[in-house]
Amino acid sequence: MLKSVVLSASFSGLAHAAEITVVNFGGAAGDAQKVAYIEPFEKATGTKVVMVAYNGEMGKISAMVEANKVTWDVVELDPGEIGRACEEGLLEKIDINKIGKKNDFRPDAIHECGVGAHVWSAVLAYNADKLKTAPTGWADFWDVKKFPGKRSMHKGAQYNLEFALMADGVPTKEVYKVLATKAGADRAFKKLNELKPYIQWWDAGAQPPQFLVAGDVVMTTAYNGRIDSAQRQGKNLQIAWAGSIYNTDYWVIPKGSPNKTAAEKFIAYVTTPEAQKNFCGAIAYGPVNNNALKLLDVKTLANLPTSEKNAKNALANNPTFWADHGEELEQRFTAWAAK
């Protein structure tokens, strides 16, 4: 109770603010944000929050900024977009001192144009009710003799090329070094060729757990939060964490937001340890505020991408690599998938 009183007092300066618009990716994470962040923030500050779901369309932000008609105040961006958007002047610079203590955050959560929202992973998932033997990593994902049946993968180069190299024996620490070479990219596509006849593509994050439950595929790549959501609904879906790729999403403020101060207050609120604890309890995404880890129970910690066990053999997504090589590799992937 004391913590909630302190939080309310800390953000009471916004009591007369009209409203702000917060844009996220919707889905299970959006539902968790509503419960853990938006509703408590409204109650603590009196500020109305309009929640909008989008698919990461940077064109919308760019158009708003260029027309000087910004109607979005806080936006969730994936790690592949924040660097480019910041360089192009589409985002406000962030003063971390207005958000919290810099040392309280994960190092990768601090960006000149944003603050980390949460940590999520692209993982290997399977239905434990349908597989007698649990897969342990990407080599098993590719082993159609030991695990006969269809696999599902997102239709894109990112993550799939890394998974392919790990399946081919490349250690996690060397994946991007290898993939940056022509020989490494050729190796990844050659490995994907082996699996191509068995692939059922997915486009939306909700599809992988649906495919698993229906028995359409024996394994799939997936966002760990979607698997967590299915587990909470009683589905016996499981994750093989080895070789997972973790990412940090960011909260940003579009350049020219008319409610910049209120937007900063929102970001400060949702990155407090208490708010982060509530979010992690609602969906298995890791906190960016290290102090939140002290508030989480053992069961919750065990399902997070940032837990010591799950992160042990994981790969950190490299946004710089994809900024430098993404266009070329995505074009090659599209041509490969169409054959």
Question: Measuring CA to CA, which residue among 135, 117, 119 is closest to residue 127?
Answer: 135
Structure letter (DSSP) for residue 105: B
Q: Domain ranges for the chain, please list them.
A: 2-119+247-306, 120-246+311-338
Most distant pair of Cα atoms in the chain: their distance: 64
Q: Is this model's pTM higher than 0.75 or not?
A: yes
Sole residue written with tokens 């409203």: 19
pLDDT at 12: 47
Sole residue written with tokens 């609120």: 269
CATH topology of domain 120-246+311-338: D-Maltodextrin-Binding Protein; domain 2 (3.40.190)
Instruction: Note whether 71 and 21 are within 8 A (CB).
Output: yes
Q: In a 10 Å sphere around its CB, with 0-12 CB exposed, 13-18 middle and 19+ buried, how is residue 325 labelled?
A: middle
pLDDT at 107: 94
Residues whose CB is less than 8 angstroms from the CB of residue 219 and which lie 6 or more positions away in sequence, other chains included: 124, 125, 126, 131, 135, 140, 141, 147, 149, 151, 152
For residues 248 and 232, give the distance between their C-alpha atoms in angstroms, rounded to a whole number.
Answer: 23
Q: What CATH superfamily is the domain 2-119+247-306?
A: Periplasmic binding protein-like II (3.40.190.10)
pLDDT at 53: 95
Could you list the pLDDT tens digit for every one of the 339 residues in the chain? 434 444 444 454 444 557 999 999 998 899 999 999 999 999 999 999 999 999 888 999 999 999 999 999 999 999 889 988 999 999 999 999 999 999 999 999 999 999 999 999 999 999 999 998 999 999 999 999 999 999 999 999 999 999 999 999 999 999 999 999 999 999 999 999 999 999 999 999 999 999 999 999 999 999 999 999 999 999 999 999 999 999 999 999 999 999 999 999 999 999 999 999 999 999 999 999 999 999 999 999 999 999 989 999 999 999 999 989 999 999 999 999 999
| 119, containing H or E segment | strand 114-127
